[in-house]
Amino acid sequence: MVKTANQTDVGRVRMVNEDRAIVQENLNGFVLAIVADGMGGHQAGDVASQMAVDIIQNELQSIASDASVEQRRIQVKQAVELANEKIFEFASQRENYYGMGTTVVTVLADEQSVVIGHIGDSRAYRFSGGAIEQVTEDHSLVNELVKNGQITREEATHHPRRNVLTRALGTEATIEVDIQDFTWNNGDVLLICSDGLSSLVSREQLLTLVNGAEPLEETAQKLVNEALEAGGDDNITVVLVSNAADPIAGDAEHFDGETG
């Protein structure tokens, strides 16, 4: 069974939370999780991120329970492309919202495989066998500089232009969506987060917190707290998706009712 937990916090500096997250635990046998981090003045960022999660979730409601991985990839890509189109159209017609956009990470998972569609610098990490791997690549100026060898990864975390995106959802009429899929194992955990977490909490800290034995909800809260303690200079959003082991028969009575 796949379990989830999510938390969001406005942080210590911002007045408005422009992050949005949606988790749907039973979508025709799949788990859907979306994180979006909006940007733009006049509170346009929270409009963009809300539109993104709503449109993508709505588009994926029709996914067939027996959809192949390839079909899932196509549907996730089309859902993100549609969100891009609608946000761009909305912003183009309203002066206050012109240029608004959002990052997005969309995860569609079952017990065997994961499909991820993403744009921007919100991230997905995979925790497996005691290791952490960043599975999305940031569409950001500093990541381009790192790839070209102009700055180190360490310098990127403090770079004055680290918030500049090279690709965002809704800022142009058409967009290239990064789509990937992989199989995952029992016990693996995915972390989807906005940069309010990833820019303040190191990979080592993430690994330590996620590998702890706490329930998923507590882990999500600890991750948010860690970012707050590190300054909380942005909105912080965390979604954990766990490929949890099935309860063994003798423990069944502990698994009645809702799961976290």
Which pLDDT tens digit goes with each residue over 9-49? 999 999 999 999 999 999 999 999 999 999 987 679 999 99
For the four alpha carbons of 179, 180, 185 and 189, in that order, the dihedral sign comes to negative
- Give the H/E segment covering residue 55: helix 44-60
Identify the pLDDT of residue 42: 67
pTM: 0.92
Q: In the prediction, which pLDDT does 154 show?
A: 82
pLDDT recorded at residue 257: 41
Residue 222: CB atoms within 10 A of its CB come to 17
For the chain, give the percent of residues with pLDDT over 70.
93
Here the tokens at position 190 are 């995915």
pLDDT bucket at 246, cuts 50 / 70 / 90: low
Q: How far apart are CA 165 and CA 37, in angstroms?
A: 12
Show the tokens assigned to 72. Answer: 């899932």
- The full set of domains in the chain, from first to last, is 2-246 (3.60.40.10)
Place 157 in a pLDDT band, splitting at 50, 70 and 90: confident
pLDDT digits (tens, 9 = 90+) for 133-146: 999 999 999 999 99
- Distance from C-alpha of 109 to C-alpha of 45, rounded to nearest angstrom: 27
Cα maximum dimension of the chain: 61
Q: Is 207's pLDDT higher than 80?
A: yes
